[in-house]
Amino acid sequence: MKIHHRGIRSRGPELVELLEKVERVHGEAHPELHELRALVSESLQDLEMHLQKEENVLFPYLYELYAAQQQGQRMEPMHCGTIANPVRVMRMEHEGEGNRYLHIIELTRHFSVPQDGCASYRLLMQELEAFVDALFEHIHLENNLLFPRFEEIERKIVF
């Protein structure tokens, strides 16, 4: 998960910078770039808060769960009762971001470059598509692999 978190934090600002450049040049002819910039910028702010919640609240407890399981120990419940509570919040946020990026895919016509698009426009669409692919992979890994596995561990070792 660290790789995905680092990728969002490093690629996100670079993506916005490139998006702003393309918007300055092509925004008049392609007004959808204004909405695109706003959506990506808002997403990066929301994602930063999301990542902080994962890193500061959920993941430390998951590390404790894993260590306890490896050592054959039992644990007391998480301060919020069960990991199902923060996991539910993470999944809702994942769904919100997924929906936002589905709208972005639609807005960009599946990352297509218009006839008058320059090399920077092409690069923007390539980078945006790669960012979205990585984000969807991140969401899939957490929702479908990481969270269910730790919910199972928690059921077995928390009293």
Residue 1 in tokens: 């998960």
Determine contact, residues 153/66, Cβ cutoff 8 Å.
yes
Determine contact, residues 143/41, Cβ cutoff 8 Å.
no
Q: Encode the chain (159 residues) as per-residue pLDDT tens digits.
A: 678 889 899 999 999 999 999 999 999 999 999 999 999 999 999 999 999 999 998 999 999 999 999 999 999 888 888 999 999 999 999 999 999 999 999 999 999 999 999 999 999 999 999 999 999 999 999 999 999 999 999 999 987
Residue 77: what pLDDT? 85
Determine contact, residues 76/159, Cβ cutoff 8 Å.
yes
Residue 92 in tokens: 């809702």
What is 37-104 written as a DSSP string?
HHHHHHHHHHHHHHHHHIIIIIHHHHHHHHHHHHTT--BPPPTTS-THHHHHHHHHHHHHHHHHHHHH
